[in-house]
């Protein structure tokens, strides 16, 4: 056998197949330095090498006008972004879905001619997909992240997709910045770290240079980013849309989904533990509750603004980084969404469902929101890449219940077998079919909005206010919620390697609230930087930078109750309650609490020292749901320690029971102690311990109930958290 000569490719060898540039031959720092100093890396260009003059604004018909299809820079940028990964979704990869129906409460014909919003007796089938944004399909449900909340209505007039999030605003104002945002928040490209997390340099580098993101940052750093359940979070259409009635009169509309269980969250420490204990926590919660008949419900709300009032606010209705405070325009609840069936097959339904904000029906139309305009292009392009064919609408989960008749033919994975010869319009060979539908016959017509503007890359001055609503959101939070935002910012910015980015970001916080900036700076161990106005990244055609400095605008209202979870709906329904009980538990107390919890609509689970079954003090066999080794307190909403000396003695010998109680106390959850259970509680690390009846009363106010009735415990469960609890 002929021996081949080994070639040495050591440090000083030359590889004839290597690229002519120097990347890879030097240290990473040297490569980056050389690239930044070379002329090749000095200007942004298209893929064809054309230097880009403005990478901040899409091409519009006027500063507040529609985005133009002519914008080849926007199309190239988003097309490349949409096709970066297959087949997993680039964003919203990890999702959960469910079937259900929607019913309107009363006819909405005054505002819209949309058919599914007219008949209160009609149930419109829906499919809903919830998702995280930044993480991959294999990431955790409990990441600090935005949650997608998208609803596909199978209406008689065709598919209508209300594609939204659990937060009413977004990071950016113009779709041309969307690839930049996602590139920044995704794992860093050199090491693919961190997964499903924004606590890294590239994200905060981008955010610190994009002051328009500050309102959304307040939301993402708040408890809204770590919901207790998908069933307990709000949904929003984010953008401003139009309603159009039969008389062709238009009003602006914002969409809201209001959960009937209230809006609830977990705390950050709890979220991190849940991610390790059960990364499918939200998926499992949604699936199990639907299987058990606890059907999640939301009311659809709308904020309606007459056209004459478009410019009456201190903010711009078309700015997706702004919301309309409910004190200015109340939310009118117009119908109810109910999810009552789980998918039969996750891939065929939840994974293959294709949403698109451009899927609308007569009576609903777009506005010139520049983020929405870009999404109208991006979603179709993404589905073509991810689902592999322009025939993605023929996948069963995406099919319209309304008949589809058009001249579109063939293509990869075509399922429809067309038997006629004609595939063009107009024709006579097919009898002229399919015909165009007149407006009175249900044909869609775009709203005839007057446009009189120059073709320009620019942003309306009404979009220059970046901080007023960030102030409003922070001012509206309760004391615990503010503390959580501060701690979240300290955690996120504390993960950064760059001192400059950390300091710049704290400087931005001074424009929101000086106390917030001071507290975050103290937690990071840095001085509060001198406030610096945001850097202007937009260079108009005339070469003179526009004044992008935000005006000192006060919030539209001082506070908005709807922005805080403090006053949300409080219910014990579907709450998951751990009953700590093992062999020797007292029959009377166990049976009474279990029965009361079931009658209240809660879900009790017996947590014992071992699996299988336990034997009560009177010899009854009780099925065990979880052992201390297979579960954790973070997976429950409250804990009840049942009495019985033998049972409590067994728990006292199990260190895991101490951890269970300690975490429950630490996470501000309701705790109820029965009889001998007080020994277990006194052995825990809880700061507040009872010594007399007065102490018991104070403990009850902090959500620790000693020998209280099941009804009192259930009332405490409904309150969700006791933020007044003393911490050691």
Is residue 419 assigned to a domain? no
Residue 69's pLDDT band (cuts 50, 70, 90): confident
Structural domain including 683 reads: 576-718
pLDDT of residue 2 exceeding 50:
no
Percent of all residues in the chain with a pLDDT value above 70, rounded to a whole number: 91
Which pLDDT score is estimated for 274? Answer: 97
Q: Tell which of 497, 529, 563 closes a domain.
A: 563
Mean pLDDT within 8-18: 37
The C-alpha atoms of residue 220 and residue 146 are separated, in whole angstroms, by: 7
3-state secondary structure of 479: helix
CA dist 669 and 663 (Å) reads 9
- The four Cα atoms 710, 711, 716, 718 give a dihedral, to 10 degrees, of 120
**Residue (of 212, 166, 218, 147) closest to 481 by Cα position:** 218
Has residue 323 been placed in a domain? yes
Integer angstrom CA distances of residue 249 from 107, 270, 307, 330, 448: 16, 50, 9, 21, 10
Quote the pLDDT of residue 693.
66
CA distances (Å), origin 481, targets 224, 260, 346: 10, 21, 36
CATH code of the domain containing 113: 2.40.180.10
How confident is the model at residue 629, as a pLDDT?
95
pLDDT at 20 over 50: no
The CATH code of the domain that includes 595 is 3.40.50.880
- Which stretches of 133-174 are assigned E, i.e. beta strand? 147-155, 158-165
What's the 3-state SS for 613-660? EEECCCCCEEECCEECCCCCHHHCCEEEECCCHHHHHHHHCCHHHHHH
Same domain? For 554 and 692 the reply is no
pLDDT of 649: 96
Judge whether 728 lies within some domain.
Answer: no
Q: What is the CATH number of the domain that holds 516?
A: 1.20.1370.20
Give me the mean pLDDT over the 631-650 stretch: 97
pLDDT of residue 125: 98
Residues 6 or more apart in contact with residue 705 via CB below 8 angstroms = 670, 671, 672, 673, 699, 712, 713, 716
Domain boundary among 507, 531, 563: 563
C-beta of residue 710 within 8 angstroms of C-beta of residue 638: no
Question: Region 303-332: what's the mean pLDDT?
Answer: 97
Name the 3-class secondary structure at 449: coil
Confidence category of residue 37, pLDDT binned at 50, 70, 90: low
What local confidence, expressed as pLDDT, does residue 16 receive?
36
Cα-only R_g, the chain = 29
Residue 568 included in any domain? no
Tell me which residues are annotated as active site: 92, 165
Confidence of residue 51 (pLDDT cuts 50, 70, 90): confident
| Mean pLDDT for the stretch of residues 123-131 | 98
Is the same domain home to 332 and 481?
A: no
- Residues whose CB falls within 8 Å of the CB of residue 49, separated by 6 or more in sequence, listed in order: none
Distance CA 359, CA 547 (A): 37
Look at residue 536 in the predicted model and tell me its pLDDT.
56
For residues 572-586, give the mean pLDDT. 97
Do 274 and 170 reside in the same domain of the chain? yes
- The whole-number average pLDDT for the span 128-137 is 95
Closest to 155 measured CA to CA, from 192, 114, 194, 109: 114
Q: Look at residues 517, 542, 563 and tell me which one is the last residue of a structural domain.
A: 563
Q: CA of 724: how far to CAs of 480, 528, 688, 697, in Å?
A: 9, 30, 12, 14
Q: Is 421 a member of any domain? A: no
Strand 332-341 to strand 364-365: parallel, antiparallel, or no bridges (unpaired)? unpaired
Identify the bridge partners of residue 365 per DSSP, sorted by sequence position. Answer: 242
Report the number of distinct structural domains present in the chain: 4
Q: Residue 22 above 70 pLDDT?
A: no
Q: Is residue 435 part of a domain?
A: no
580: which strand partners? 607, 641
Q: State whether 378 and 509 are in the same domain.
A: no
Low-confidence winner among 51-55, 80-84, 365-369 (lowest mean pLDDT): 80-84
Q: What residue has token string 């238009």?
A: 250
Q: Are residues 210 and 260 in the same domain?
A: yes
Confidence check: pLDDT of 9 > 70: no
What does pLDDT average to over the chain?
Answer: 90
Task: Give the whole-angstrom CA distance, residue 476 versus residue 552.
Answer: 19
Q: What is the pLDDT of residue 533?
A: 65
Q: Chain centroid to CA 234: how far?
A: 9
Whether residue 559 is found in the same domain as residue 597: no
pLDDT reported for residue 537 = 60
Task: Give yes or no for a contact between 593 and 713, defined as CB atoms under 8 angstroms apart.
Answer: yes
Q: Shortest CA distance to 60 belongs to which of 357, 545, 452, 536?
A: 452
**Does residue 7 fall inside a structural domain?**
no
Q: 681-686: which pairs have CB atoms within 8 A and are 24 or more residues apart? A: 681/641, 683/652, 683/658, 684/658, 685/658, 685/728, 686/661, 686/662
Question: Both tokens of residue 346?
Answer: 């996750």
Query: Is the confidence at residue 671, as pLDDT, over 80?
Result: yes
Q: Is the preceding omega at residue 8 within 30 degrees of 0, hence cis?
A: no
Helix ranges, 221-303 (H) = 268-277, 281-291
Residue 409 maps to a domain: no
Same domain, 295 and 211: yes
* Residue 333 reports pLDDT greater than 70: yes
* 649/622 same-domain check: yes
Instruction: Kindly provide the residue ranges of all beta strands, DSSP E only, lying in 307-427, ordered along the sequence.
Output: 332-341, 364-365
User: Taking 90 as the threshold, does the pLDDT of residue 471 lie above it?
Assistant: yes
* pLDDT at residue 324 tops 70: yes
Q: Is residue 324 within 8 Å of 305, Cβ to Cβ?
A: yes
Q: Residue 188's beta-bridge partner residues?
A: 193
- DSSP E strands: which ranges in 657-716? 671-673, 704-706
Give CA–CA dist 334/383, Å, rounded: 31
Q: Which of 356, 448, 441 minimizes the C-alpha distance to 157?
A: 441
* Same domain, residue pair 543 and 661: no
Mean pLDDT of 461-481: 95
Say yes or no: 204 and 308 in one domain. yes
Q: Which residues contact 717 (CB under 8 A, 6 or more apart)?
A: 572, 575, 577, 600, 602, 637, 638, 670
pLDDT digits (tens, 9 = 90+) for 584-640: 999 999 999 999 999 999 999 999 999 999 999 999 999 999 999 999 999 999 999
Nearest to 562 by CA among 472, 690, 632: 472
Q: What CA–CA distance (Å, rounded) separates 176 from 549?
A: 20
Residue among 100, 383, 89 nearest 230 (CA): 100
pLDDT at residue number 56:
85
For residue 211, the model assigns a pLDDT of 92
Buried b or exposed e, range 655-684, using 16+ CB within 10 angstroms: eebbebbebbbbbbbbbbbbbbbbebbeeb
| pLDDT at site 84 | 72
How do residues 409-422 score in pLDDT, each as one tens digit?
Answer: 888 888 889 888 88
Averaged pLDDT, 472-477: 98
In degrees and rounded to multiples of 5, residue 718 shows phi and psi of: -65, -25
Does one domain contain both 145 and 202?
yes
Residues 268 and 376 in one domain: yes
Per-residue pLDDT tens over the stretch 183-202: 999 999 999 999 999 999 99
Is the peptide bond prior to 87 cis by the omega test (within 30 degrees of 0)?
yes
If one compares 543 and 568, the residue with the highest pLDDT of the two is 568
Q: Name which residue leads in pLDDT, 489 or 438.
A: 489
């Amino acid at each position: 056998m002929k021996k081949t000569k080994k070639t040495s490719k050591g440090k000083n060898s030359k590889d004839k197949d290597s690229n002519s540039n120097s990347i890879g031959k030097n240290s990473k720092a040297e490569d980056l330095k050389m690239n930044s100093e070379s002329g090749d890396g000095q200007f942004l260009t298209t893929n064809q090498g054309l230097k880009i003059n403005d990478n901040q604004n899409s091409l519009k018909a006027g500063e507040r006008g529609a985005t133009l299809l002519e914008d080849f820079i926007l199309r190239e940028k988003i097309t490349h972004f949409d096709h970066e990964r297959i087949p997993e979704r680039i964003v919203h990869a990890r999702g959960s879905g469910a079937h259900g129906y929607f019913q309107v409460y009363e006819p909405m014909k005054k505002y819209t001619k949309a058919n599914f919003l007219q008949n209160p007796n009609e149930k419109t089938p829906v499919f809903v997909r919830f998702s995280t944004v930044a993480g991959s399909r294999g990431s955790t449900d409990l990441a600090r992240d935005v949650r997608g909340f998208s609803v596909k209505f199978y209406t008689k007039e065709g598919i209508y997709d209300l594609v939204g999030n659990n937060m009413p605003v977004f990071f950016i104002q113009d779709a041309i910045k969307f690839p930049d945002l996602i590139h920044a928040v995704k794992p860093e490209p050199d090491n693919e770290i961190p997964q499903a997390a924004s606590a890294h340099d590239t994200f905060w580098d981008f955010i610190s240079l994009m002051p328009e993101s500050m309102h959304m940052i307040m939301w993402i750093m708040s408890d809204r980013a770590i919901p207790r359940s998908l069933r307990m979070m709000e949904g929003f259409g984010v953008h401003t849309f139009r309603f159009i009635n039969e008389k062709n009169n238009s009003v602006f509309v914002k969409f809201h989904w209001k959960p009937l269980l209230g809006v609830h969250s977990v705390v950050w420490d709890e979220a991190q533990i849940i991610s390790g204990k059960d990364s499918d926590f939200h998926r499992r919660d949604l699936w199990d509750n639907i299987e058990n008949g606890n059907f999640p419900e939301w009311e659809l709300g709308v904020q309606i603004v007459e056209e004459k009032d478009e410019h009456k606010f201190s903010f711009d209705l078309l700015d997706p980084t702004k919301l309309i405070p409910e004190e200015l325009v109340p939310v009118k609840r117009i119908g109810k969404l109910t999810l009552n069936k789980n998918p039969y097959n996750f891939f065929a339904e939840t994974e293959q469902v294709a949403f698109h904000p451009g899927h609308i029906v007569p009576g609903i139309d777009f506005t010139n929101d520049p983020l929405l305009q870009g999404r109208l292009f991006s979603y179709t392009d993404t589905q073509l890449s991810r689902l592999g064919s322009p025939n993605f609408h023929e996948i069963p989960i995406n099919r319209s219940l309304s008949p589809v008749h058009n001249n579109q033919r063939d293509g990869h994975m075509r399922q429809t077998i067309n038997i006629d010869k004609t595939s063009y319009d107009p024709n006579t060979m097919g009898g002229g079919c399919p015909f165009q539908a007149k407006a009175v016959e249900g044909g869609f017509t775009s709203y005839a909005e007057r446009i009189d503007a120059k073709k320009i890359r620019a942003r309306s001055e009404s979009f220059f206010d970046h901080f007023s609503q960030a102030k409003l959101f922070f001012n509206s939070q309760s004391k615990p919620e503010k503390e959580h935002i501060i701690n979240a910012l300290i955690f996120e910015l504390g993960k950064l390697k760059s001192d400059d980015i950390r300091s710049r970001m704290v400087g931005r916080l001074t424009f929101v609230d000086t106390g917030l900036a001071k507290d975050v700076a103290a937690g990071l161990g840095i001085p509060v930087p001198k406030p610096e106005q945001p850097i202007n990244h937009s260079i108009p055609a005339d070469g003179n930078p526009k004044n992008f400095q935000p005006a000192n605008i006060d919030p539209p209202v001082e506070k908005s109750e709807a922005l805080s979870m403090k006053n949300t709906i409080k219910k014990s329904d579907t709450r998951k309650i751990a009953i700590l009980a093992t062999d020797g538990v007292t029959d009377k107390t166990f049976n009474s609490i279990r029965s009361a919890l079931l009658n209240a609509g809660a879900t009790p689970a017996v947590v014992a020292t071992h699996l299988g079954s336990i034997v009560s003090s009177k010899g009854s066999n009780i099925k065990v749901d979880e052992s201390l080794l297979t579960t954790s307190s973070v997976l429950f909403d409250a804990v009840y320690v049942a009495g019985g000396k033998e049972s409590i003695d067994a728990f006292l010998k199990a260190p895991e029971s101490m951890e269970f109680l300690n975490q429950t106390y630490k996470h501000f959850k309701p705790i109820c102690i029965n009889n001998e259970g007080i020994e277990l509680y006194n052995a825990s690390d809880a700061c507040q311990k009872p010594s007399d009846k007065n102490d018991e009363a104070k403990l009850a106010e902090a959500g620790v109930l000693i020998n209280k009735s099941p009804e009192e415990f259930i009332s405490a469960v409904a309150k969700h958290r006791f933020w007044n609890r003393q911490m050691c």
